[in-house]
Amino acid sequence: MDMFEKATKAAKNMGDSVINSAKSIGTTLYSSTKEQSELASLNIQKSVIDKRLAESYQEIGKRYVAYVDACEGDTAFAVEDILEKMRPDLEKAAEIRTQIAEKEQQIRQDKEDRLKKKAQEEFETEKKKLDKALDLEILTPEEYEIKLSSAQKKLDHYDILRKIQMQLEMGIITRTEYEEKVKSILQ
C-alpha cells in the first residue's frame, strides 16, 4: 500500500469516526432533552396540584378560625367535604412525586451510563492510536505496554476516578490533592 492509499484510508476512517460521533451526540441530545422535558412536565403537574391543595388548606384554615371564633361547642369543626375534595389531588401529588424521583434517578443513571460509555470510547481510541504507533514502529513493545496499561487503568478505575473528579468539582479537595489521588491510582 503506497502513501496515498494510506492517507486516503486514514481520511476515510477519520470521516467515519466523525459521522459516528455526530450520530451519537444527536441521539444523546435527543434522549437528554426528552427526559428533561418529561421531568419539566411532571414538575408543572405537581405545581398545579400543589396550588389546588394550597387553596383547600386555606379553606380549612378559614373554617378553623371561624370555629375557634364561634367556639360555643355546639358546632363541630367539619372539613370532611374539603378533605374528600382534596383526596384525588393528594393521591395524584404522591404519584407525581414518585414519578419525579424515578425520572431524576433515570436521568442520573443515563448520564452516568453516557460517561462510562465515553470513557470506554476514549480507551478504544487511545488503544487504536497505540496499535497504529506500534505497527508503524513509533513505539517499542515495552512503551506500548506501559501506555496501554495506563489507559486500561483509567478505564478499570473509572468509578473511583469519577468520584475524585466530583470531589474536586465540589471543592472538597484541592487540585493538588486531586492530582495526587489520581497519580496514586494510575501508578
The model's confidence at residue 126, banded by pLDDT at 50, 70 and 90, is: very high
If one compares 27 and 95, the residue with the highest pLDDT of the two is: 95
Q: What is the DSSP letter of 138?
A: S
Looking at the chain, the whole-number percentage of residues with pLDDT higher than 70 is 80
Residue with cell 396550588: 51
DSSP labels, 112-137: HHHHHHHHHHHHHHHHHHHHHHHHTT
State the pTM of this model.
0.59
Q: What is the pLDDT of residues 54-76, one digit of tens each?
A: 888 888 888 887 777 777 656 66
Residue 19 reports pLDDT greater than 90 = no
